[in-house]
Structure 1
Amino acid sequence: ATISLGPTARPTSIDRGEQLFNDSRLSSDGWISCRSCHTRGHTNGGLSDTLGDGGFGAPKKVLSLLGSGTTGPWAWNGEVKTLSEQVAKSVKLTMRGDTMTPRDARDIAAYLKSLPTAPSVARARGTHDVKAVARGRVVFQRTGCAGCHSPPTYTSSRTYDVGISDELGRRRFNPPSLRGVSQRDGLFHDNRARDLGEVIGRFGHGLKTPLDAADRAVLLQFLESL
């Protein structure tokens, strides 16, 4: 007897995008896929000199793609206005591929838009201090952090001179979203800060005056709660 398993579901744009994301045939000679640097949509945490910033010789951190569908514009220089455009640019410049169609780019973008934001490690473990997080939010607002990392996405559509430059002397960058930042090692465009503590303490990033130990501690807890 033949047992029917029912009709075969047609792949959605997201399904097709996920397949393409993991398909090395999009690259020249099949040597790399999107997943190679963005494992399951996240990041390998390394630096890559992809020409995506308009130049060669200034490697940039491979950013996580989790939650990236709502954090445009894209690229470290903020020059890419749509996610499908960023996908097509990455395949062409980074993967050296020449077979991608506009539909391919749209489908991969649809897949990326389906990826949730990386959760806060502290919230997931139930170890965050609610009162400290609330105090840290006040420090975040008071010190002007929200000027570049604006809620609810904790990023901005603009670029800013962040006081550090890449190897080509460029100092203006589009700020990455802070959502899920507790899951990242290596921060800034070149990983020069090992963790959030260094961003706040050693580099005093975006601060007009250094924070005291108490404010640094609660600001760190707030950032780790995002």
Structure 2
Amino acid sequence: MHRLSGFARTRSFRELMRRCSVITISALLLGCLQSSQAPSLAQSPLPLHVPGALIPEEPITPMPAPPAIDPRKVRLGERLFNDARLSGDNSRSCSSCHDIGTNGASSKRHDIGLDGAELPFNTLTVFNSVLNFRFGWEGKYRNVEADVTASLVNPRIMGSSLADIAERLDRDAGMRAGFIAAYGRRPDPGNIVDAIASFERTLLTPDSRFDRWLAGDRAALSDEELNGYKLFKSLGCVSCHQGVNVGGNLFQRHGIFHPLASPDPAILRVPSLRNVATTAPYFHDGSAPTLDDAVRKMGFAQLNATLTDQQVQALVAYLHSLTGQYRGAPVGGGS
């Protein structure tokens, strides 16, 4: 077989690379030409509607229905969630900061710890939290059981111990009977955490108007909300806020182009935008009082985009469509 000299091989390789470069540049130019001829954002057509079918190729998927869990464990977990005996000084329950009757969190910029000082982070909603890939702003906990345990033993949050909680609950005949019915044994650290986690797993909020649109109901969203969703995708918001929870599945640095909020910690778990219209104030430090303010600041800090009033209005309208249902009513009483 004929062997090329080193010089010939080099020349042939360079010629091949030159041809590849020409092909690549031509493809890029063609792509730019096609993009320039594409319809504008306001004119781009929506997918054709097929009744009862999911709208295809969307980066967000509908919220599922709550899972089937032993109702005795769920009822017990809800009782515990609202029981102040879980705190070391009997002064607060889980629902003191995570109000299921409103938004699953609170309206405060920072809730107050047992020591009377503000907690370091704005309280995240417990609704749909089990769909996040990590728990808490810093993503320290990998599952709901670890998150529940950490809150119960944190000296600034609940300030208790699982052994002490079990002892207090065991002295209550009605509570003891509830544990025996659900678990076949008296309260202990394991079944206390499991009961609360079982309840939290049912705190899903399906059937938002956006979920209905994803499921094929084209009348579920207004034109402005649909334009907001298009902007949400075209501006790049969806790069971090996608999937079933519209976020909650990756870590991200905040303040990429411009400062956003308190600089520390620099990297946070991306929050879910489910029910976001009900969970003001916003950001890990609670520094954005309204959704309008949060959208403007996020666009500037994360995308280097100065949004127009019309864009902000459309984006906020879309975000309102993410409010789901809990026990037959909209979360927070919203639309």
Short-chain TM bin: 0.7 to 0.9
Residues 118 and 180 in structure 1, CA contact (< 8 A), matched pair in contact too: no
Task: Identify which of 152, 164, 183 aligns with 2:278.
Answer: 183
Q: Of the two, which has the highest radius of gyration?
A: 2
Scaled by the length of structure 2, what TM-score is found? Answer: 0.56
Query: What is residue 108 of structure 1 aligned with on the other side?
Result: 196
Task: Identify which of 295, 298, 314 aligns with 1:200.
Answer: 295
Matches for 1:32-181 after TM superposition, within 5 Å: 32-40=92-100, 42-46=104-108, 47-48=110-111, 59-93=120-154, 94-99=157-162, 101-117=189-205, 130-163=222-255, 164=260, 166=262, 169-181=264-276
The separation in 1 between residues aligned to 2:294 and 2:131, in whole angstroms, is 24
Residues 133 and 250 in structure 2, CA contact (< 8 A), matched pair in contact too: no
Q: Counterpart amino acid of 2:321?
A: S
Query: What is residue 90 of structure 2 aligned with on the other side?
Result: 30
Query: What is residue 310 of structure 2 aligned with on the other side?
Result: 214
1:75-116 CA-to-partner distances (Å, cap 9, x unmatched) read 000121101110000001021111251221121011011123
Query: What is residue 5 of structure 1 aligned with on the other side?
Result: none
Q: Counterpart amino acid of 1:44?
A: S
Q: CA deviation at 1:135?
A: 1.1
Q: How many pairs align? A: 208
Q: Confirm whether residue 13 of structure 1 aligns to residue 73 of structure 2.
A: yes
Q: CA deviation at 1:122?
A: 11
Please, which runs of 5 or more residues in structure 1 have no aligned partner?
1-9, 51-55
Residues 261 and 285 in structure 2, CA contact (< 8 A), matched pair in contact too: no
Identity of aligned residues (%): 26
Q: CA RMSD in A?
A: 2.8
Query: What is residue 6 of structure 1 aligned with on the other side?
Result: none
1:7-57 CA-to-partner distances (Å, cap 9, x unmatched) read xxx96111111111111212112222111111237122221476xxxxx98
Q: CA deviation at 1:225?
A: 0.9
Scaled by the length of structure 1, what TM-score is found? Answer: 0.81
Please, which runs of 5 or more residues in structure 2 have no aligned partner?
1-69, 166-188, 212-219, 323-335
